Structure formats: structure tokens, C-alpha cells
Amino acid sequence: MRNVDSFHGFLARQERLRALMESRRISTLLLTNLTNIRYLTGFSGSAGVAVVSACQGILWVDPRYTLQAREEAHGVEVLEEKGGLLKAAAGWLRTNRVREAAFEVAQVTCADFDQLARETRSRVKFRPGGELVEALRVVKDREEIGAIRRAGALTAEVFEEILRHVRPSVREADLAAEIEYRMRKKGADGVAFETIVASGRRGALPHARATSKSLQQGELVIFDLGAILSGYAADMTRTVFLGDPGRPVRRLYKAVVQAQRGAVQAIRAGRKAADVDAIARRNLAEHGLDRYFIHSTGHGVGLEIHEKPRLARSEKGRLRAGCVVTVEPGVYLEGLGGVRVEDTVLVGPEGAEILTPASKERWVIS
Ligand code: ZN
Ligand code: ZN
């Protein structure tokens, strides 16, 4: 049943792509972005090139991936190629007398472009096709939401388990390793990014890596973690304190949690992405903390850990039902450390649903 479902899911994505291609007057699209190929066909190998036209789809793979592609890929003919995948696709375009083909702007290098011109003997006109598949990926379908929901639940579960190991003298790197080990044991494909455990002053670095530093009493500790399940990522951050935080740190933590909650509550389909960012900033400003919030409020999550849309001042668009985004305000104070709270949320018509349901209340570890 699942397979039938996913089969139709991939065909539906290809149909949406063809409709989009038609509206942009693109008859043939050359796909070189592997994430986009995976999104459209299900093929998860590390090398492949595809062509999609109004009535055809072809995926070229090298012999390492022939069996895998035949098992995984839906809605495309799989062709094995030993002499270079781009060359094979170009040869196909030439012999099928394709006059014009669009390519993925973010992927094709100058060297690729030269090769395409050479192999097609300049008989095919190549033009930039924008980011068509990325545009489709902004709104997740049922299968994708299911995968992110499972990845989010697993991520939250691992964090709640790991809390028992959080105490003075434990090393950041050991906690990060334990988190990643437990994700694997629970069935994750892997981690969506290198797990962050940043304690004390190191917490003031938003993208600190876990080091051999030991946790100490009286420190804030930031955990930023995310599992991948069925190819889809989750992204979650929690901050804890070792010992008695005292009034100033309590106020700091509460301000960030409130800012995060306010932004999550503002999310619904139709809302401008930039508005959500503004609300997080305004909430922090009420506590005089907005100048310590030095990144955007969130980003899309899916097959990649950073996708569209961003929740940022510069983002023009509106959120749509089925978008999955993070909401992650944080404050970073040099010399003291940082507080960040992040959830991955699903945008719905009436509001947001949190997909990383770990507690934010149990943050004081004494
Ligand atoms: Zn994160
Ligand atoms: Zn994030």
C-alpha cells in the first residue's frame, strides 16, 4: 500500500513540474541537482542526471546505481551509462532533435555548460530554467509531512533521553556523540547536520561545534540537533542551565521562549514570512534583547536542512499551507553564552503545528 502511495506521490510531483514547465514555456528540462532528482523520482544515489519533457522522463545512472535506480525511481526510464552522465543526456537531446532545453541555474557550472554545447554540437539551445523544482518543494505533500513528523518526533525523543546525561564534567563532544548514536539506533538515516552542543561562553557562537570542553555548574548549554528519516530532516534547539539560574538568566530564557512562542502563534497560511521574523524581533525588543538576535528567525526544512522559505526580513513571499519551517530566535551574549529555542513547524490554514515536541519547561538541571 505504501509503495502504491509513494508511486502516485512521485508521479503527482512530476505532473506538477510539467504544469510549471508549460507555464514557463519550457518543453525540456535537464536536471542535475540530485536532491531535486530524488524529490521527483525517489532515486537517492549520489550520481545521476535526468531529463523531463512533456511526455518523457529519463534518468541516467552509472553502473554502481543501476539496480538501486531501477528499484527506487518512479516515472522515469532508467538508463545505465558508463561514459559520463551529462554527456549521455546531451547525446540524447541531440539525437532526439530537441531544439531548446532549460537547465537548473544553481547547479550547472561553466565547465558543464561548455560540455553541453560541445556534446550537442551547439544544436540545442540551453537556457536558464530558474529553480522550478525548488519552487515545488516549498509546499510539502502528505508523504513528506509524514517523514518530517517522524524525524521531528525522533529528534525530540532523543533529546529528552539525553537530558539524563547532562551534568557538570560531561564533555560536549560526548553528548553530541551520544545524541547521534541514539538517533541511529532509533532508525534515523543519519544526522541532518553536525550536532551542536555549546556550553558556557561558547554558546555565544550561534554555530559552535561540540568540542572537548566539559560542562560546568552555572552554565547555559545549547543543544541543536536534527535527525534525517526517509530522506527528510528535522531541526530543533533547546537550551538548559546547570544549577540555579538566578533572576537575570531566568528572564533571558523566558524572553526567548516567549519570542519563539509568539512567532509560532503568528504562523498560518497567507502570512508574510517577513512578518513572523518581525514578531520574534519585536518580542525580544520588549526585553531590550533584539540587538543580540543576530540571525534570521527560521528557514524551510525538507530534503535539505536549509530550504525555502526563509523567515527573514528580506523574504518577500507569504507562507503557504504545507510549508515546513523552523522558528529559532536566539540571543548571544559575549562572555555569558547564548539562549536559542527552535522548533520545526508545519504551516496550516489556521496555524502552526510543532513537529519537534520536546519540553521547554525542563530547562533547569540541578
Ligand atoms: Zn537548528
Ligand atoms: Zn535551524
Residues 60-71: tens digit of each pLDDT? 999 999 999 999
Mean pLDDT (the chain, rounded): 95
Q: Residue 2 Cα, ligand 2 centroid: separation in angstroms?
A: 30
* Residue 16 to residue 20: CA distance in whole angstroms: 6
Q: Ligand 2 mean position to 349 CA, how many Å?
A: 23
CA of 342 to the centre of ligand 1 (A): 6
Task: Report pTM.
Answer: 0.94
Per the model's pLDDT, the better-predicted residue between 159 and 205 turns out to be 159
Predicted confidence band at 5 (pLDDT cuts at 50, 70, 90)? low
pLDDT band at residue 249 using 50, 70 and 90 as cut-offs: very high
* ∠ Cα 226 229 232 (to 5°): 75
What local confidence, expressed as pLDDT, does residue 56 receive? Answer: 95
What would the mean pLDDT of 318-347 be, rounded to a whole number?
97
- Centre of ligand 1 from the C-alpha of residue 297, in Å: 11
Q: Is the per-residue pLDDT at 140 higher than 80? A: yes
Mean of the pLDDT values across residues 37-59?
97
Q: Is the pLDDT of residue 4 over 70?
A: no
pLDDT at 252: 96
Ligand closest to Cα of 340 equals 1
- 342 pLDDT above the threshold of 50: yes
Helix (H) or strand (E) holding 160: helix 142-162
% residues pLDDT > 90 (the chain): 93
Residue 356 in this model has a pLDDT that exceeds 70: yes
Whether the CB-CB separation of 10 and 41 falls below 8 Å is answered with yes
Distance CA(18)–CA(54), nearest Å, equals: 6
Mean pLDDT along residues 106-132: 91
Label each residue of the chain as H, E or C: CHHHHHHHHHHHHHHHHHHHHHHCCCCEEEECCHHHHHHHHCCCCCCCEEEEECCCEEEEECHHHHHHHHHHCCCCEEEECCCCHHHHHHHHHHHCCCCEEEECCCCCCHHHHHHHHHHCCCCCEEEECCCHHHHHHCCCCHHHHHHHHHHHHHHHHHHHHHHHHCCCCCEHHHHHHHHHHHHHHCCCCEECCCCEEEEHHHHHCCCCCCCCCECCCCCEEEEEECEEECCEECCEEEEEEECCCHHHHHHHHHHHHHHHHHHHHHCCCCCEHHHHHHHHHHHHHCCCCHHHCCCCCEEECCCCCCEEEEECCCCCCECCCCCEEEECCEEEECCCEEEECEEEEEECCCCEEECCCCCCCCCEEC
**Residue 33 scores a pLDDT above 70:** yes
Average pLDDT over residues 286-310: 96
Share of the chain above pLDDT 70, in %: 99
Neighbours of 314 (CB within 10 A): 9
Q: Tell me, what's the pLDDT at 1?
A: 41
Lowest mean pLDDT among 73-77, 117-121, 352-356: 117-121
For residues 169-189, give the mean pLDDT.
98
Ligand located closest to 236 CA: 1
d(CA 235, ligand 1 centre) in Å? 5
Q: How far is the CA of 257 from the centre of ligand 2 (A)?
A: 16
Which residues, listed in sequence order, are joined to residue 222 by a DSSP beta bridge?
A: 198, 239
Please compute, for residue 89, the number of CA atoms within 13 A of its CA located in the half-sphere on the CB side: 30
Q: Give the N- to C-terminal CA distance of the chain in Å, as an integer.
A: 49
Those residues with Cβ within 8 angstroms of residue 254's Cβ, 6 or more apart along the chain or in another chain: none
CA 53 to ligand 1 centroid distance, Å: 37
How remote is the CA of residue 299 from the centroid of ligand 2, in Å? 6
Query: Model confidence at 122, in pLDDT bands (50, 70, 90)?
Result: confident
For residue 139, pLDDT beyond 80:
yes
223 pairs with which residues across the strands? Answer: 197, 238
328, 297 contact by CB (below 8 A): yes
**Phi, psi dihedral angles at 273 (to 5 degrees):** -60, -35
